[in-house]
Amino acid sequence: MKKTLCTLLVTMAGLGMLLSASPTSAADYPSKTIHMVVPWKAGGGTDSIGRALAEALKEVADVAVVVDNISGASGVTGSIKVARGKSDGYTILMNGDTDIVASLTFADVPLSLDDFAFIGGFFSSPTWILSHKDRGINTLQEFLDKAKANPGKLTLGSTTPAGAQMIMCAAIKGITGLDFRIIPYQGGADMKKALLGNQVDAGVIHAPVLLSEVKDGLIKVIGTGKPLTLITHKPLRSTQTLRDVGIPISIGITRGIFVPKSTPADVQCKLAEMVEKAAKSESFKTFGQKFGFEPEWISGPEFEKEARESLALFKEIKAKYID
């Protein structure tokens, strides 16, 4: 009995492996379902942006586009899975460039920007600094002045202890040399609650979270890491940036598409074309407007350049002001 089972197992295993192999041709890409890996749990901001793009991409590519949430280690697990996966263009990664860069900066992970080919960025947003209206702080300069006058008293919240937001907080504190306290929170929902409950003087979070509360007047945008020129809510377009107050860095996040480095060049080209079309499509534009930002297309090479610059910047700030 056991022997027959064994031989059966072996033959079936062999058959199974034969069945799993299937070559794809680059010329008729895409011809089957594309899996878009979003390395975060379903329901977050990045996930929603990814799903909106997936819907738009479906129309452009004329194939099914399925979102796989492969969460873990702040996006590292999913990113590594794609980097090491099949390079036929049917498994693509959707992530924010500074999210990847931040995890490379803070943790020792077997991942590097060289593992990827950058297809392009399609949704850019700066990281902004918010404050509850009852705190009476209107601009970043006011916050810095107040911090100077009251050393050790003001609190600046960061959405995560190891992300782009923390780099921004550390940079502000380090470059200005002022004495205020940085409070790390555990994610967007936590930071939102702290801001809505007026528990910190200011908080750093990716735009456009809390945009509707800003429009309503409950929360104020006191500063931003990059110019807010593309935000749909016009009055915010002239918010003070870090550079305006003498902090010469830019921090934001651009969501883009990545594929493994060894993906054939023509597949990459075709994919870039499709994603660009999807990003500029009506449905994605509408989503962007409702969400808060006009989508903009950043081509692959430029996207890669941005990411590498951010990596260098983050590593520098971490080495100088955090360690």
Q: How many residues sit close enough to other proteins to count as binding (CB under 8 A)?
A: 76
Query: Which residues ranging from 174 to 203 are in contact with other proteins (CB under 8 A)?
Result: 181-186, 189-190, 192-193, 196-197, 199-200
Closer residue to other proteins (CB): 14 or 246: 14
Query: Which residues ranging from 236 to 265 are in contact with other proteins (CB under 8 A)?
Result: none
> Is 285 a residue that touches other proteins (CB under 8 A)?
no
> Is 70 a residue that touches other proteins (CB under 8 A)?
yes
Nearest CA to 110 out of 160, 67, 76 is that of: 76
Closer residue to other proteins (CB): 190 or 296: 190
> Is 220 a residue that touches other proteins (CB under 8 A)?
no
Sign of CA dihedral 274, 275, 281, 283: positive
Region of 123-131, 162-170, 247-255, 263-271 interacting with other proteins (CB under 8 A): 162-170
**Residue 198 buriedness (CB in 10 A; 0-12 / 13-18 / 19+):** middle
Closer residue to other proteins (CB): 5 or 27: 5
Number of C-alpha atoms within 13 angstroms, CB side, residue 185? 21
Sign of CA dihedral 27, 28, 34, 36: positive
Binder of other proteins out of 62, 290, 309, 312 (CB under 8 A)? 290
> Is 152 a residue that touches other proteins (CB under 8 A)?
yes
Query: Which residues ranging from 102 to 131 are in contact with other proteins (CB under 8 A)?
Result: 106-110
Sign of CA dihedral 22, 26, 28, 29: positive
Region of 143-151, 212-220, 293-301, 309-317 interacting with other proteins (CB under 8 A): 212-220
For the chain, the C-alpha Rg in angstroms (whole number) is: 22
> Is 61 a residue that touches other proteins (CB under 8 A)?
no
Residue showing tokens 């306290």: 181
Collapsing DSSP states into helix, strand and coil, what is residue 67?
strand
Region of 52-60, 92-100, 141-149, 256-264 interacting with other proteins (CB under 8 A): 52-60
Q: Min. distance of Cβ 323 from other proteins in angstroms? A: 5
CB 241 within 8 A of CB 157: no
> Is 71 a residue that touches other proteins (CB under 8 A)?
yes
Mark 155-176 as b/e (b = at least 16 C-beta within 10 Å): ebbbbbebbbbbbbbbbbbebe
Nearest CA to 242 out of 140, 97, 138 is that of: 140
How does DSSP classify residue 38? E
Q: Characterize the bridge pairing of strands 202-206 and 116-132.
A: antiparallel
Binder of other proteins out of 116, 122, 143, 291 (CB under 8 A)? 291
> Is 269 a residue that touches other proteins (CB under 8 A)?
no
> Is 74 a residue that touches other proteins (CB under 8 A)?
yes
Binder of other proteins out of 115, 145, 213, 296 (CB under 8 A)? 213
Q: Min. distance of Cβ 305 from other proteins in angstroms? A: 27
> Is 226 a residue that touches other proteins (CB under 8 A)?
no
Mark 215-229 as b/e (b = at least 16 C-beta within 10 Å): eeeebbbbbbbbbbe
Q: Min. distance of Cβ 166 from other proteins in angstroms? A: 7
Q: Min. distance of Cβ 22 from other proteins in angstroms? A: 11
